[in-house]
């Protein structure tokens, strides 16, 4: 049985657009128009957020207990690949297809609204169900929506959630629990996370400015990215996965980036590749002082010859539990279209950081075959994950 895994299709929605082609066009153009300054998120004033574009599908009435913006985002992504999913279900059967998703908010916004109603009236709204906001619910909802009988579970490890979902999904294939797995991530905007990151002094109302001397923090975003992972050969292959946990601090990364470095090196080792094989690196690049410092130092050690790199969160906001899948999707789109995502910042170099090859303007892959992309995701508690995808070998 093949140990290789492929990513034939992608469904995606975020502040850049509501389908893969629209997202790709806005991504490579460096379009930040989806980053909105909105009131009502914070008691102290507005917040800049990356709001997903386009109308979201309604859930059928029989799934009312799962109805939340998070699951609607998920269905918007699924709709783009549903024909391929249906064909896979017909080929392998519903017992052989699994669902592994990452999230950190799930339907917490619906829980916030229910709590506000309870405080005002003394009762919860008639339509509220805890299944709308349960952290473990996205993968369960997707499985029930499609009638899947394979394994279905949700990974929630903060900002590495949907990156780590790929490790779990690949294991389901390798140990023959599944023939295909729906894998990705979804997160929706809610006051809990925006206020929480603001309390940590990690947000900014201006557009995030990764790797700049003037970086001041992140913008929070929402979105969904959903792949089908299968052994059937396709143009894009999942080449390597690296995970680590440095457990340095509950909310601060290890200052030297030791955990980040370990994850990147583990991904390269898993793929059987050297650093020189990587053509593009999607940085975690939150534009917070400590994250960018540690990541730049780790990248400089892992890639001493340099690597074309960009941080794409100024285009979407930090989509938290969906960030790993979303930014891997940007790598997938880069391979599909032959273009590299730009790095949006003010260009003011921080002399305290190693100099990285940040992509300015339009740039393409230097080669047409054997291309490889890496995507980094780092999270609270020292959770780190790096993913490698590339042209099928």
Catalytic residue numbers read: 159, 284, 318
| Distance of alpha carbon 70 from alpha carbon 67, whole angstroms | 8
SS3 393: coil
Between CA 285 and CA 147 the distance in angstroms is 38
Q: For the purposes of burial, counting CB atoms within 10 Å of the CB of 323, is it exposed (0-12), middle (13-18) or buried (19 or more)? A: buried
Nearest C-alpha neighbor of 168 from the set 103, 98, 260: 98
Sign of CA dihedral 212, 297, 217, 29: positive
Q: Are 68 and 188 in contact (CB under 8 A)?
A: yes
Helices (H), 94-147: 108-121, 137-146
- Strand 45-50: give its sheet, edge to edge: 35-42, 45-50, 220-221
Identify the CA nearest to 72 among candidates 110, 124, 104, 115: 110
Q: Could you give the count of Cα atoms lying within 13 Å of 181 in the half-sphere of its Cβ?
A: 30
Q: How many CA atoms lie within 13 A of 240 on its CB side?
A: 25
Q: Which DSSP string do the residues of 50-65 spell out, in sequence order?
A: EPPPS--PPPPGGGGG
Structure tokens at 161: 């959630």
- Paired residues of 180 in beta bridges: 97, 230
According to DSSP, the β-strands at 45-50 and 97-102 are unpaired
What is the C-alpha to C-alpha distance for residues 102 and 325, in angstroms, rounded to an integer? 8
Of 273, 261, 271, nearest to 299 (Cα)?
261
| Straight-line distance from the first to the last Cα atom of the chain, in angstroms, rounded to the nearest whole number | 17
């Amino acid at each position: 049985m093949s140990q290789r895994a492929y990513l034939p299709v992608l469904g995606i929605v975020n502040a850049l657009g509501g389908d893969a082609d629209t997202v790709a066009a806005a991504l490579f153009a460096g379009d930040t128009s989806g980053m909105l300054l909105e009131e009502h998120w914070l008691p102290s004033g507005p917040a800049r957020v990356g709001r997903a574009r386009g109308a979201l599908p309604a859930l059928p009435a029989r799934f009312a207990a799962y109805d939340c913006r998070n699951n609607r985002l998920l269905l918007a992504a699924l709709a783009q690949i549903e024909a391929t999913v249906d064909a896979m279900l017909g080929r392998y059967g519903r017992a052989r297809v699994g669902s592994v998703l990452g999230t950190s908010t799930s339907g917490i916004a619906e829980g916030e609204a229910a709590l506000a109603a309870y405080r005002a009236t003394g009762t919860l709204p008639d339509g509220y169900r805890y299944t709308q906001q349960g952290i473990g619910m996205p993968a369960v909802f997707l499985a029930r929506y499609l009638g899947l009988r394979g394994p279905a579970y949700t990974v929630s490890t903060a900002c590495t959630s949907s990156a780590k979902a790929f490790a779990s999904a690949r294991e389901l294939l390798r140990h023959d629990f599944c023939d295909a797995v729906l894998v990705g991530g979804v997160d929706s905007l809610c006051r809990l996370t925006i206020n929480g990151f603001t309390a940590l002094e990690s947000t900014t109302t201006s557009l995030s400015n990764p790797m700049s001397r003037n970086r001041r923090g992140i913008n929070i975003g929402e979105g969904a990215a959903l792949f089908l992972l299968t052994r059937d050969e396709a143009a894009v292959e999942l080449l390597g996965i690296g995970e680590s946990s440095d457990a340095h601090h509950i909310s601060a990364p290890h200052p030297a980036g030791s955990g980040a470095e370990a994850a990147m090196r583990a991904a390269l080792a898993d793929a059987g590749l050297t650093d020189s094989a990587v053509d593009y690196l999607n940085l975690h690049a939150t534009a917070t002082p400590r994250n960018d410092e540690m990541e730049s130092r780790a990248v400089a050690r892992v890639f001493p010859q340099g690597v074309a790199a960009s941080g794409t969160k100024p285009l979407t906001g930090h989509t938290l539990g969906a960030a790993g899948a979303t930014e891997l999707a940007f790598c997938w789109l880069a391979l599909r279209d032959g273009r590299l995502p730009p790095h949006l910042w003010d260009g003011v170099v921080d002399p305290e950081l190693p100099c990285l090859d940040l992509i300015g303007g339009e740039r393409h892959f230097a080669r047409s075959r054997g291309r490889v992309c890496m995507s980094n995701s780092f999270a609270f508690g020292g959770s780190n994950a790096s993913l490698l995808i590339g042209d099928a070998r």
